[in-house]
Amino acid sequence: MSPLPVSYMPLDAGAATSSPEAEEVSVCTVAATAVATGHLMLKLEGYSRLKGTHHENGSYIESSVSKVGGHTWKIRCYLNGNSKENAGFVSLYLNLCSDSVVLAEFEFALVRHQGTPPAYGHQGSPSKTSQGVRTFGGKDKYCRWGLPRFISVEELERSMFLRDDCLAVRCTVTLVRERTVKEKVVQAHDLARLGMLCKCDDHLCKRHHARPAETFWGRFAKLCHYICRASVYRAR
């Protein structure tokens, strides 16, 4: 959870309440965690022929349905861009086929052929990610997200990833789930960020304090002090 701005005015620095009772505090944590990861692959054999039949902008090749994280997906490949603005580039998109709303990250990469060196220039295999979590499906949401300029056609046709008129594209899909948890015990640092820590030294004060936890020896000293006071009282 992102920290609240530290410029918030503490309660005891401005119009602080005069009540010694502790204020009610509720802190919720929203966590986004990866819950499943899977891979899809689209292989193109006879690239030159496919390029001839899909040379127009918006013409695409689509993979069969694959399942990742309980949802079905497809890869959509445009060999000459998904629009006129992206002509001359290979556009890659990930499509959600399930009727649901899914949060996911994805990465597209060209697959190296066997027997070819692992390096691609100085950066390895060309790969690009979704640059964050994307929402697939749902009302007024795109069911597909992608990379309209994944690689230029010229660069692809010069590369070692196109060999024997074949190439392959891999998509790694990571599903993300958001979970909201109400914390049962509010931590001192959260109270500090909320400006709700009292700085007094009065142990009878019922407001929130960031005092160190009492040790065994501290409790033992208090017990000895109580016994001494009781002895003095009885002696009177």
Per-residue pLDDT at 11 exceeds 60? no
Angle at 64 between CA 152 and CA 34, to 5 degrees: 80
Distance, CA of 63 to CA of 202 (rounded, Å)? 70
Please check whether residues 201 and 110 belong to one and the same domain: no
Residue 179, classed as helix, strand or coil, is strand
**Number of independent structural domains in the chain:** 2
Chain centre to alpha carbon of residue 24: 31
69-85: average pLDDT: 95
pTM value > 0.85? no
Per-residue pLDDT at 13 exceeds 80? no
DSSP character at residue 163: B
CATH of the domain at 63: 2.60.210.10
Please check whether residues 5 and 36 belong to one and the same domain: no
Please check whether residues 104 and 57 belong to one and the same domain: yes
Please check whether residues 146 and 228 belong to one and the same domain: no
Please check whether residues 4 and 76 belong to one and the same domain: no
The one-letter code for the residue type at 59 is: S
Please check whether residues 191 and 160 belong to one and the same domain: no
67-80: average pLDDT: 95
CB count in 10 Å sphere of residue 202: 10
**Tens digit of each residue's pLDDT (9 = 90 or more) over 86-117:** 999 999 999 999 888 999 999 999 998 887 76
